């Protein structure tokens, strides 16, 4: 099984630029082309939140038009730039999404069980999952504790070390860790939000953050660093499940580069 993973698309209404400078819509088109051109193609693509930039219906319309070009099914979670109810309306045909409340879901039809968590706090930018959401997660994991599972949420449950991102971090990940630690089946926790790739051992498993399909957030650790972004080569992640080998994650850069070159 091959799982594609894109995040932080920040789609804008048709004809508008992200942050006034970057054509995030065209960059999503590039990402879709990239995923479709893979051989073999992913069985499913995870879309890790911040699908649009301001949570507006015309942005979701632009996002849906581009995601519709994916040659494979895709599964969505919201990010802090999404609007929960506009998101629910935009993806009303996605039957795995609940009709009300937080947008937690579980898709059980692949060799790897996929769980999406809604870590958004409506109207705020930081992340959290309330007690009811954590109980839902515990019950869901307990229903199939021996099946390999991937958990997807938007906010990384760690301190990134980038001060202007940590202002909007998942503030108290310990209760989420306490749930995950009780299950040995969680192969990987996937997130986005930080527009960079980061890896961490956490809660008895591994957390990986996926880069954005559009801008990269500047890597600055100084306490007084100012928020900035780069237009760097965007990337997606590919998570390959082999029952004999386990789950292995790759970073796959989106774009055209010289090569391939033969080597002996
Ligand atoms: Fe984002």
Q: Kindly report whether the global pTM for this prediction surpasses the value 0.95.
A: yes
Any domain includes 227: yes
CA distance 148 to 79: 25
Any domain includes 259: no
Taking residues 94-109, report their average pLDDT: 98
- In the reported structure, the alpha carbon of residue 217 is separated from the centroid of ligand 1 by a whole-number distance in angstroms of 9
- In the reported structure, the alpha carbon of residue 228 is separated from the centroid of ligand 1 by a whole-number distance in angstroms of 13
Taking residues 36-59, report their average pLDDT: 98
Any domain includes 103: yes
In this predicted model, what pLDDT tens digit does every residue of 162-202 receive, in sequence order?
999 999 999 999 999 999 999 999 999 999 999 999 999 99
Any domain includes 261: no
CA distance 75 to 230: 27
CA distance 110 to 41: 15
- In the reported structure, the alpha carbon of residue 246 is separated from the centroid of ligand 1 by a whole-number distance in angstroms of 29
Reported in sequence order, the residue ranges of 175-215 that DSSP labels E, i.e. its strands, are 186-191, 198-202, 205-209
- In the reported structure, the alpha carbon of residue 93 is separated from the centroid of ligand 1 by a whole-number distance in angstroms of 24
- Residue 63: which CATH number? 3.60.21.10
The overall average pLDDT reported for the chain is 97
- In the reported structure, the alpha carbon of residue 145 is separated from the centroid of ligand 1 by a whole-number distance in angstroms of 32
Q: What range defines the domain where residue 137 resides?
A: 2-253
Any domain includes 264: no
Question: How many structural domains does the chain have?
Answer: 1
CA distance 32 to 254: 10
Closest CA to 190 of 144, 131, 143, 251: 251
Q: Give percent of the chain above pLDDT 70.
A: 100
- In the reported structure, the alpha carbon of residue 261 is separated from the centroid of ligand 1 by a whole-number distance in angstroms of 35
CA distance 192 to 212: 7
Contacts (Cβ under 8 Å, ≥6 apart) of 217: 162, 165, 194, 195, 196, 227, 228, 229, 230
């Amino acid at each position: 099984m091959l799982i594609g993973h894109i995040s932080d698309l920040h789609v804008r209404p048709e004809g508008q630029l992200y942050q006034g400078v970057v054509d995030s819509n065209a960059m999503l088109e590039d990402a879709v082309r990239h995923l479709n051109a893979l051989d073999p193609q992913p069985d499913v693509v995870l879309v890790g939140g911040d699908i649009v930039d301001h949570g507006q219906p015309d942005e979701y319309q632009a996002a849906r038009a581009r995601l519709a070009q994916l040659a494979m099914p895709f599964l969505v979670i919201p990010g802090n730039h999404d609007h929960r109810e506009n998101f629910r309306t935009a993806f009303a045909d996605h039957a795995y999404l609940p009709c009300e409340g937080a947008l937690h879901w579980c898709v059980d039809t692949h060799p790897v069980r996929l769980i999406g968590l809604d870590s958004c706090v409506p109207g705020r930018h930081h992340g959290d999952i309330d007690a009811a959401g954590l109980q839902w997660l515990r019950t869901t994991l307990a229903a199939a504790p021996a099946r390999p599972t991937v958990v997807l949420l938007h906010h990384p449950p760690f301190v990134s070390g980038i001060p202007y991102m940590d202002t909007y971090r998942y503030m108290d990940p310990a209760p989420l860790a306490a749930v995950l630690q009780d299950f040995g089946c969680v192969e990987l926790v996937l997130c986005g939000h930080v527009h960079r790739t980061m890896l961490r051992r956490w809660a008895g498993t591994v957390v990986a953050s996926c880069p954005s399909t559009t801008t990269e957030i500047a890597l600055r650790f100084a306490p007084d660093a100012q928020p900035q972004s780069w237009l760097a080569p965007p990337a997606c992640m590919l998570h390959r499940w082999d029952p004999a080998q386990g789950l292995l994650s790759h970073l796959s850069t989106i774009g055209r580069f010289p090569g391939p070159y033969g080597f002996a």
